[in-house]
Amino acid sequence: MFSDILTFTTSYLHSMHIGCVRFMPPFMSLADYDNGLRHSVIIMPDDHPPLGESGLIEPDSIYHLTDRFDCTYALMTLPETGEYMLVGPMLLREMTDARFYTLMEKLGLPQDFHPQMRTYYNELPPAQSTPPVFSLINQLGETLYGEEKLTVHSLTSEQMEVWEGFFGELELQIPTDPILSVRLLEERYKNESNLLEYIHAGNANAALSLFGGGMNILADRLSDSLRNMKYLMVTLNTLMRKEVQRAYVHPLHIDSLSNSLVVKIDRLSSVTEGAELIRKMVKSYCELVRRHSLRGYSPQTQKIITAIDADLKADLSLKRFAAELNINASYLSTLFKNDTGQALTDYVNTRRLARAKTLLRSTPATVQTIATDIGIPDVHYFGRIFKRETGMTPKEYRNCK
């Protein structure tokens, strides 16, 4: 059971892109676990004592640690193995421009450090993911130690100086080889590429997993400027729109979604709303691919389906399409059925009835109006095929919503 609980916890944290490591004591330094901050972005001396050497780490305890760089960690001991488990780094508050410059001034970091520090903070999970992580770790502590024994300690940056063995002014060196910045930049581009691949495949779960712990797809989350976020979201909207088109979704469907998203982006009133809209964008574009991708269909079938989706009221007969495509009707019928698994007439009726269901549930339009709108002006015929399909009359279907 102990092993299963830890496996679940570490797997969950990794899915959120939050660091989680287990190791045997002594706990040497946060420099070994801070995603390279102290070794690559900022070179700090290594002549300090190991954390916990003075016996500050107590049994049956969880430590919430906030260091001088405003990064937060959770540290606990694992009773059955004698290991430590460290979760982080994370942020307790969003690193806005104002907070960033205040922190840089407090640390005494010159502007030469700022680009790499910005990159570092950009890649950390967003602040809103930290409280749920702490709740998870505290619940883990109650399970492992017992609710009565568990003690939770919160250490400030000043207390952390004692642990880390650093006092007074930092002696810092600007790295001559910015390895971490290069690595983080490569990871960002890789994640952006993965995002577009998942969109192309219509895999919303995989695409959203990249945002699970705040993976910085948008490249700059430091700024608290809503205008800046809107600009980045318009760029993301364009990239996803192009990727969906590459997945053989006709612009007829893409344009409607893309335009509606541009309007929603323009109306955003907060960064929080923007983050939620990004998730909806990903889901919506993936849904387009799943529902409307014509990948693998013959060019003739693609044109027919696009014409059907464009206007259900139009003449959607085999005769019309055979004439327009200058192809034998019998051959076209066979080709369409091989591609879609349905005869053309059945396919058209399926699309028309699906549209009718949507209109019945979402609008007050009369049954006659809906029947005409989907290309079946004979309301009695519409009622018969609708009941044959659903087992209910249109009015009964509407009243069931």
Q: How far apart are CA 42 and CA 17, in angstroms?
A: 23
Q: What is the 3-state secondary structure (H, E, C) of 163-190?
A: HHCCCCCCCCECCCCCHHHHHHHHHHHH
Q: Scan for tokens 């990159």, then name that residue.
A: 119
Supply the pLDDT for residue 43.
62
In this predicted model, what pLDDT tens digit does every residue of 76-109 receive, in sequence order? 988 878 888 889 899 988 888 889 999 998 888 8
| CA 293 from centre of chain | 22
Q: How are strands ordered across the β-sheet holding 72-78?
A: 20-23, 83-90, 72-78, 61-66, 151-155
Is the pLDDT score of 367 beyond 50?
yes
Q: End-to-end alpha-carbon separation of the chain, Å?
A: 45
Residues 207, 130 share a domain: no
Q: How far apart are CA 309 and CA 292, in angstroms?
A: 9
Neighbouring-strand partners of residue 64:
74, 154
**Greater model confidence, 377 or 50:** 377
- Specify the pTM: 0.59
Is the pLDDT score of 309 beyond 60?
yes
**Residue 166 binned pLDDT confidence (cut-offs 50, 70, 90):** very low
Supply the pLDDT for residue 12.
85
DSSP letter string over 62-130?
EEEEE-TTS-EEEEEEETTTTEEEEEEEE-SS---HHHHHHHHHHHT--GGGHHHHHHHHHTSPPGGGH
Is the pLDDT score of 21 beyond 80?
yes
Highest-scoring range by mean pLDDT, 170-184, 262-276, 367-381: 367-381
Supply the pLDDT for residue 381.
95
Supply the pLDDT for residue 174.
58
Residues 306, 275 share a domain: no
Supply the pLDDT for residue 177.
57
Percent of the chain scoring above 70 in pLDDT? 83
Across 119-154, b (16+ Cβ under 10 Å) vs e yields bbbbbbbbbebbeebbebbbebbeebbeeeebeeee
Which structure tokens are listed for 61?
Answer: 């305890």
Q: Count of domains in the chain?
A: 3
In this prediction, residues 244-260 reach a mean pLDDT of 92
Which of residues 151, 175, 199 is at a domain's end?
Answer: 175
Residues 315, 260 share a domain: no
- For residue 304, what is the domain's CATH number? 1.10.10.60
Residues 368, 220 share a domain: no
Residues 204, 309 share a domain: no
Residues 220, 162 share a domain: no
Percent helix / strand / coil, the chain, rounded to 5: 60, 10, 35
Residues 222, 321 share a domain: no
Q: How far apart are CA 276 and CA 265, in angstroms?
A: 11
Residue 22 CA: distances (Å) to CA of 76, 82, 195:
10, 10, 30
Residues 147, 200 share a domain: no
What is the rounded average pLDDT for all residues in the chain? 84
Residues 187, 165 share a domain: no
Where in the sequence is the domain holding 341, given as residue range(s)? 299-399
| CA 203 from centre of chain | 11
Residues 332, 276 share a domain: no
Which of residues 155, 175, 195 is at a domain's end?
Answer: 175
Q: Mean pLDDT check: name the lowest of 129-138, 318-327, 368-377.
A: 129-138
Q: Mean pLDDT check: name the lowest of 80-89, 116-125, 209-218, 374-383.
A: 209-218
Q: How far apart are CA 274 and CA 37, in angstroms?
A: 29
Is the pLDDT score of 34 beyond 60?
yes
Is the separation of the CB atoms in 255 and 245 below 8 Å?
no
In this predicted model, what pLDDT tens digit does every residue of 378-398 receive, in sequence order? 999 999 999 999 999 999 999
In this predicted model, what pLDDT tens digit does every residue of 178-207 receive, in sequence order? 565 666 667 778 888 899 999 999 999 988
Residues 185, 168 share a domain: no
Supply the pLDDT for residue 242.
94
In this predicted model, what pLDDT tens digit does every residue of 47-82 receive, in sequence order? 554 554 545 678 889 999 888 889 999 999 888 788
Which of residues 257, 292, 327 is at a domain's end?
Answer: 292
Which structure tokens are listed for 145?
Answer: 């130690």
Residues 341, 239 share a domain: no
